[in-house]
Amino acid sequence: MSGRLVLLTGGARSGKSRHAEALASSLGERVLYVATAGVGDREMRRRVEEHRRRRPPSWETLEARRDVASRLAGLGEPPPVVLLDCLSLLVSNALLDEAARCGEGPELEGAASRAVEEELSGLLGWHEAAGGHLIVVSNEVGWGVVPPYRLGRIYRDLLGGANQRLAARADRVVLMVAGLPLEVKRP
């Protein structure tokens, strides 16, 4: 794989994580898997366990629902390959944390936008300083029905903007469709 920053995007259950894991494996044995999911119910616990079983035993895992860059910086020597799965949940975590902090009033959109911007700026800044490969998995949420509620629309807009920002900086962008990778951007 050429390029240092890869964005893998696509619909839910399109094969993004499996493809990202294969890319990371092709770059060597030392991989840090950054998991942004929180385990809140049985179904999510099952999904997390499924992901864990698929990963090689040599991979390290960092669970970070927020503040990914500071958590990565705290590890010391940066790993040569970092796989962040997934940006969709990182954005969701930021939005929900801001909603819990300030409510769903008019200030939510700005506060959540700033929180997502901090996450992205931190991650991209960390990657630029650390070097190595960064593979980011994210969902495409703009192809579906417009959410009927405000929080869903804010989320869709925040994630769409985050995906665009990462795609602009990425060396490669891969769109996953029915388990098939489509190169959208190549170095």
Contact 159, 136 (CB under 8 A): no
Tokens 């499996």, residue? 18
Closest residue by Cα to residue 23 from 75, 83, 76: 83
Which residues are paired to 9 by β-bridges? 138, 175
The answer to whether 171 is annotated as binding is no
The CA-CA-CA angle for residues 50, 54, 60, to 5°, reads: 105
The answer to whether 85 is annotated as binding is yes
For residue 111, give the amino acid letter: A
The answer to whether 138 is annotated as binding is no
Annotation says 127 is catalytic = no
Burial of 8 (0-12, 13-18, 19+ CB in 10 A): buried
The answer to whether 2 is annotated as binding is no
The answer to whether 29 is annotated as binding is no
The answer to whether 55 is annotated as binding is yes
The answer to whether 58 is annotated as binding is no
From CA 63, how far away is CA 83, in angstroms rounded?
12
Query: Which is catalytic among the residues 19, 51, 127, 133?
Result: 51
The answer to whether 12 is annotated as binding is yes
Closest residue by Cα to residue 69 from 114, 128, 112: 128
The answer to whether 185 is annotated as binding is no
The answer to whether 117 is annotated as binding is no
| Residue numbers annotated as active site | 51
Numbered residues of the known binding site:
10-17, 35-37, 52-55, 63, 85
Numbered residues of the known binding site for GTP:
10-17, 35-37, 52-55, 63, 85
